Amino acid sequence: MNISLGLKVMNITVAIEQLKLEQPELYRAVIYHGIMLERERVLAHLNVAKMYDSLPEAVEAVAVGTPAKLIPGELIPYTLLHDTYADIEDKRDQLEAASGYL
């Protein structure tokens, strides 16, 4: 690990511990907020992927930390996720059709 990166991580860890000790309510609020953001990201992947029969791909995307971004003004929430999982479904359907699976 890079020394400066190691020091940065140590400083962040110390700051987190200090916040936890000095302002426990704020610490809990920040942790809760992070949990809710992560929950929203995971559920967005899973719910959208379910529509396209692409749960295995969604599980992989969640595991590697792929963001689920909302774009201001989009008509359908998570348009980019819909596009991604629709493309996966289309490619899978094409492969199945080419192999005579259908």
Within a 10 A sphere around the Cβ of 80, how many other Cβ atoms? 14
pLDDT tens-digit series, residues 19-44: 999 999 999 999 999 999 999 999 99
Burial of 101 (0-12, 13-18, 19+ CB in 10 A): exposed
Give the residue from 81, 69, 60, 59 showing the smallest Cα distance to 37: 69
Q: Which residues of 82-93 are buried (b: 16+ CB within 10 A; e: fewer)?
A: bebbeebbeeee
What is the pLDDT, as a whole number, of residue 73? 81
Q: pLDDT band at 99, cuts 50/70/90?
A: confident
Q: Which residue has the higher pLDDT, 76 or 61?
A: 61
Q: Where are the domains of the chain?
A: 3-98
